[in-house]
């Protein structure tokens, strides 16, 4: 079950900046648990993009940035490129479920 | 280099059982948190289960009582025993190493489980 809500889709022209929101509740993001973001290209496994709200693993371009406030988090992609066209998911821990929860997913389209 | 390779997926009838395996290389399964995550065709990601380094296990409500996560330290392999399978369990199943902050840093390529008569 997805308890983190994301917009189904966002789009932008090459070079533009887009943001994806992730809304949770008091048992996950609002409880202080970290938010992580994944990029999933068609037909491939998800890839960790942002961990601990705003940290980028080695090799992830600094065009990707994350933030968190209250019961929500956001992923920003600046300088949008054609290769960024993919599905993006947020994820956190939920104390009421004693496990992880994912967002509903957002498809990014580069116009 | 960390590598996770899943196997064991396939076509199974409703009510049947299947065991998925995830062979790890480049790190020690027993020293890390390990999880299973699934993705139904055309749908989003769903966390299934986690096993902590100390051996504690947790499950999503949708699989609790039917699925069992385990590991074989001598084989450096993670397992998911799936019983009483239902059509809604049809998905690609990924194993993933899990950091202390609950993020999934390394993923396998996935194995497809199809539950159908």
pLDDT tier at A3, thresholds 50, 70, 90? confident
Give a three-class secondary structure readout of B17-43: CEEEEEEEECCCHHHCEEEEEEECCCC
B7: CB partners within 8 A, 6+ apart: B20, B21, B22, B23, B111
Residues of A in contact with B103 (CB under 8 A): 34, 36, 48, 51-52, 91
pLDDT tier at A1, thresholds 50, 70, 90? low
Check pLDDT > 90 for residue A12. Answer: yes
* Structure confidence by residue, pLDDT tens digits, A41-71: 999 999 999 999 999 999 999 999 999 999 9
Minimum-distance CB partner of B44 among A36, A45, A89: A89
Measured between alpha carbons, how far is B104 from A36 in angstroms, rounded to an integer?
9
Check pLDDT > 80 for residue B81. Answer: yes
Region B30-46: mean pLDDT is 96
Identify the pLDDT of residue B102: 92
Measured between alpha carbons, how far is A65 from A50 in angstroms, rounded to an integer?
7
Q: CA dist A70 to A66, A83, A91, Å?
A: 14, 31, 15
Measured between alpha carbons, how far is A28 from B115 in angstroms, rounded to an integer?
32
Check pLDDT > 80 for residue A14. Answer: yes
Region B98-110: mean pLDDT is 94
Measured between alpha carbons, how far is B27 from B30 in angstroms, rounded to an integer?
9
Residues of A in contact with B44 (CB under 8 A): 2, 89, 102-105
Check pLDDT > 70 for residue A72. Answer: yes
Q: Give Rg (Cα) of chain A.
A: 13
Are the C-beta atoms of A36 and B102 separated by less than 8 Å? yes
pLDDT tier at B27, thresholds 50, 70, 90? confident
Taken in order B17, B38, B41, B86, the sign of the CA dihedral is positive
Check pLDDT > 80 for residue A2. Answer: no
Residues of A in contact with B102 (CB under 8 A): 33-34, 36, 91-93, 100
Among residues A55, A69, A72, the alpha carbon closest in space to that of B105 is found at A55
Measured between alpha carbons, how far is A68 from A56 in angstroms, rounded to an integer?
14
Show the tokens assigned to A2. Answer: 């997805």
Region A11-19: mean pLDDT is 97
Query: pLDDT: is B101 or B87 the higher one?
Result: B87
């Amino acid at each position: 079950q997805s308890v983190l809500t994301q917009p189904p889709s966002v789009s932008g022209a090459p070079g533009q900046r887009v943001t994806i929101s992730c809304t949770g509740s008091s048992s996950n993001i609002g409880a202080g648990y970290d938010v992580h973001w994944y990029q999933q290209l068609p037909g491939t496994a998800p890839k960790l993009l942002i961990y601990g709200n705003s940290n980028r693993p080695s090799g992830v371009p600094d065009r990707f940035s994350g933030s968190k406030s209250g019961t929500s988090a956001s992923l920003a992609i600046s300088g949008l490129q054609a290769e960024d066209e993919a599905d993006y998911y947020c994820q956190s821990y939920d104390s009421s479920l004693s496990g992880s929860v994912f967002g509903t997913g957002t498809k990014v389209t580069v116009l | 280099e960390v590598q996770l390779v899943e196997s064991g997926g396939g076509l199974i009838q409703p009510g049947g059982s299947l065991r998925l395996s995830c062979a790890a290389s480049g790190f020690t399964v027993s020293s890390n948190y390990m999880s299973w995550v699934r993705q139904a065709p055309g749908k989003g990601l769903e966390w299934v289960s986690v096993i902590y380094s100390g051996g504690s296990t947790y499950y999503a409500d949708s699989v609790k009582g039917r699925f069992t996560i385990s590991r074989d330290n001598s084989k450096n392999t993670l397992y998911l025993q799936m019983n009483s399978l239902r059509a809604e369990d049809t998905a690609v199943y990924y194993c993933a190493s899990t950091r202390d902050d609950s993020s999934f840093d390394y993923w396998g390529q996935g194995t497809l489980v199809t539950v159908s008569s």
